[in-house]
Amino acid sequence: MSSLLDRLKAGIAKTRAGLVETLEDTFKGRKEIDSDLLDELEYALITADVGVRTVTEILEDVRQRADRKLLGDASEIKQLIRQHLVSVLEATERPIVRPAAPPRVVLVVGVNGAGKTTTIGKLTARLRSEGQSVLLCAADTFRAAAIEQLEVWGQRNDVEVIRQQQGSDPSAVVFDALQAAKARGVDVVIVDTAGRLHTKENLMAELEKMRRTTQRVIPDAPHEVLLVMDGTTGQNGLEQARKFTESTGVTGIVLTKLDGTAKGGVVVAIARELNLPIRYIGVGEQIDDLLPFEAEKFVASLFD
């Protein structure tokens, strides 16, 4: 079994190649910190989608330290960038809520195509490997295919899926699932919701109704609302994410398909702009390619 760091490195190889190799080229053979170097540094960070706010802060920090003769040479800048990225990511971290009694209720939201149902399947596998019992709730009743896809993942993971007919009230399915989970002493209920485009106000209202339903059955639920975002769309997904955050009280982000992009720096931009923790990142097609996110390890896998 390869270590988490090895798998992270493999998963974000494209970003690593883009960002770190550009930085290496920028610093190669240069001792002096001048405006040309800073321009190239800015380009490398912006291209990796780290985000304008973070890039501006890093450049300002470099300038100030250079002016005060606190940087020996250009190579020290890499360490500075690394520390800054870790501190931005750690600033958004929050502990996972553990209810006093099971079940823990996890609502999974996001637009179609972000990899929501696949993420649920992989998360179920991860929780099962940790010895937790899981119940899946097929509350995406708008598409028959979504219910079928969730059932496939249920079979793969050997867990039960609570479902109703296509077109039935999603909140009714949630109610059934939570009652079943309480009766059976299940540890975690994961709720799949319809992949709403953020412009569909009535669908956002539906999500809010599902939230209220969970609270009727389990007053402090949902304990986690995970927003699944496609890492390859970069910061284009931010506006969408804000809408979800307003409607559903998102508590954490899952970034999928990071193995397919050179813009993995978007992890930093998204955590920062939404002020939310990144809970998991998807780095491949396999069932165990959903990795728990740790700021220090993520940045280390970029730079080491």
> At 154, which CATH number?
3.40.50.300
**What number of other Cβ atoms are within 10 A of residue 127's Cβ?**
19
Q: Is the pTM of this model over 0.75?
A: yes
Structural domain range at position 233: 104-250
Nearest to 149 by CA among 124, 174, 177, 132: 124
Q: For residue 14, tell me if it sits in a domain.
A: no
Measured CA to CA in angstroms, residue 97 lies from 89, 90, 105, 221, 237 at distances of 19, 17, 10, 10, 26
**What number of other Cβ atoms are within 10 A of residue 191's Cβ?**
27
Q: What is the pLDDT of residue 17?
A: 84
Q: What is the pLDDT of residue 122?
A: 96
Can you give the pLDDT of all 304 residues of the chain as single tens digits?
A: 467 778 888 888 888 888 888 888 888 877 778 888 889 889 888 888 888 999 999 999 999 988 888 887 777 888 899 999 999 999 999 998 899 899 999 999 988 888 899 999 999 999 999 999 999 999 999 888 899 999 999 999 999 999 999 889 999 999 999 999 999 999 999 999 988 655 567 777 888 899 999 999 999 999 999 999 998 887 777 877 887 787 778 999 999 998 888 888 889 999 998 999 999 999 988 888 999 999 999 998 888 7
Q: For residue 223, tell me if it sits in a domain.
A: yes
How far apart are the C-alpha atoms of 117 and 121, rounded to whole Å? 6
Q: For residue 142, tell me if it sits in a domain.
A: yes
Q: In what order do the strands lie in the sheet with 278-282?
A: 161-162, 134-139, 188-193, 104-109, 224-230, 252-256, 278-282, 290-292
Q: What is the pLDDT of residue 84?
A: 94
What domain count does the chain have?
Answer: 1
Q: For residue 192, tell me if it sits in a domain.
A: yes
Q: What is the pLDDT of residue 33?
A: 81
* Tokens, residue 301: 């896998």
Q: How far is CA 243 from the centre of its chain?
A: 16
Q: What is the pLDDT of residue 234?
A: 72
Q: What is the pLDDT of residue 26?
A: 81
Q: For residue 290, tell me if it sits in a domain.
A: no
Q: What is the pLDDT of residue 200?
A: 65
- What values do phi and psi take at 155, rounded to 5? -65, -45
Q: For residue 145, tell me if it sits in a domain.
A: yes
Q: For residue 292, tell me if it sits in a domain.
A: no
